[in-house]
Amino acid sequence: MTTGQASLLEALFSLGQSPNSPSQHPHLDSNLRANSSLTLSSNLSNIEMQDDVQTSEDEDEDPEGVVSTICRVPVLDKTAEGNALPFLLQSYATWIRRMAFEPLKMTHIARDFVFRHFADREASRWILALLANIGSKIGTTEFAQGKNDPMLSALQYASELWTRPSRQTMVIHFFVSPVNDVVTLRQEAAPIFRQLCPGPSDGAIDLQALLHHPLVCLRQYAHIDILFSVIMDFPTLFQYDVASPGSQPLHLDNQMVEIQGNNCLQWLHGTPDQLTLLFTKMKSMRQNGLAPTTEMVASFEDEIRELQPFNSSSSESFLVIVRFVVQECWRQVAFVYLYMAVCGDPSNSPRVKQAFKHFAKLLQGIKPGRSPDEFFRMIVLLMAPAAHRKRDRENIWRRLVELYTPGRIFQASRNLVSVVEDYWGRADAEGRPIVWSDVAVSRMRILGI
């Protein structure tokens, strides 16, 4: 690796550091642009600020005013390097507006992120433009069609050469790259994550303490490790220390309420920390082959019922309803995972069918579209094993496949849909209901991982 490439990659992966962390990277040397076909100005010239690249739906009207909160809509020449900052701000605003569950609560975080790294050094500005380009295109037909994008290729190349991918890199790959690439990034980032986590390196990670950690990138990595392992039914990369079911009072303590009230991961993904803790407990039992007692199951059920309802800050009634429904769907996901993955129920058991029935009613009450379906993505993947009837499967398939334009979805989603279709087909061919172990079998058959 050349000196210029090393500077570029260090800059890329420093973007996840704390706002108060001092810059420890040398200034970008001239080899960067010599070794890359993309410069800051070329990055900016490719950012589509107006109507050049739009989603197929008219849902980017920004009813909450996210863009205006982060920046003023620019009217300057976007190819001029002197206008880099306003264009970067708008591009990040576009990204957040499309992808964040509670975008208004992410606006100040995004502004601080852009200002901090734009003022740092040329390498950081270059990477900001790279991330902004890719982020602003997520959700557009260009990415949905799977077209090769030089910006994404540059990001993938950077990730292959370095072992410290930032959380922004991992999130982008989760949406637009094959699942195998996401798995690779997750593994490459693991040693750095463990090194930065508090506690002895050979011990279990105190998850509840980690949720208080000032570095958001650590919280987000744990979030990805746990939920991705739940979706794909493979082991987490780390052992997380959480209280066993029944060892804690059912009502949330003040510390957990504080986490929930200031949870940027929920603002971004729509998944509350309470749920991450619950999934970690259940995943640990499944991973260790532990059969739950009746008392354990009852304790889990009580914890799921005790999940706090989501209070949206939006003044838009539609968005408030959507966010509430997403939260309630996660509650039913937790029930299904408990019954199928932990207890071993098949998809046609009465309690699985009851949880799916509640979920189906919630899903049916929300009109399909980019805004709600972005946050149903993980939900429907986790509910798919419980879909026993043909009509229910068609509804889930439609929510996944028609997320952006008819018949076109991101590469990551296409991979995961193929896994779902495989275990549905196998169970039908064998004349039996689906069991949770079918997920792992289909994952190996389709993805080879």
Q: How far is CA 314 from the centre of its chain?
A: 21
CB-based contacts of 174: which residues, under 8 Å, 6+ apart? 182, 224, 228, 412
Q: How far apart are CA 70 and CA 97, in angstroms?
A: 10
What mean pLDDT comes out for the span 43-53?
44
For 23-37, 134-148, 384-398, which range has the lowest pLDDT when averaged over its residues?
Answer: 23-37
Query: Is the pLDDT reported for residue 335 higher than 80?
Result: yes
Query: 314: buried, middle or exposed (CB in 10 Å: 19+, 13-18, 0-12)?
Result: middle
Do the beta carbons of residue 260 and residue 266 sit within 8 Å? yes
Q: How do the residues of the chain divide into helix, strand and coil, expressed in percent and rounded to 5? A: 65, 0, 35
**CA-to-CA distance for 334 and 220, rounded, in angstroms?**
20
Measured in degrees and rounded to the nearest 5, phi and psi for residue 206 equal -75, 100
Residues 155 and 207: their CA atoms lie apart, in Å, by 30
Residue 270 has pLDDT above 80, yes or no: no
Contact 286, 341 (CB under 8 A): yes
Nearest to 170 by CA among 374, 25, 13, 11: 13
pLDDT tops 70 at residue 282: yes
**pLDDT by residue (tens digit) across 434-445?**
999 999 999 999
Spatial separation of the C-alpha atoms in residues 17 and 356, rounded to whole Å: 40
Lowest mean pLDDT among 5-9, 155-159, 414-418: 5-9
Whether the CA torsion 5, 85, 145, 368 is positive or negative: it is positive
- Indicate the pTM of the whole model: 0.70
Q: How many residues does the chain have?
A: 449
pLDDT at 26 over 70: no
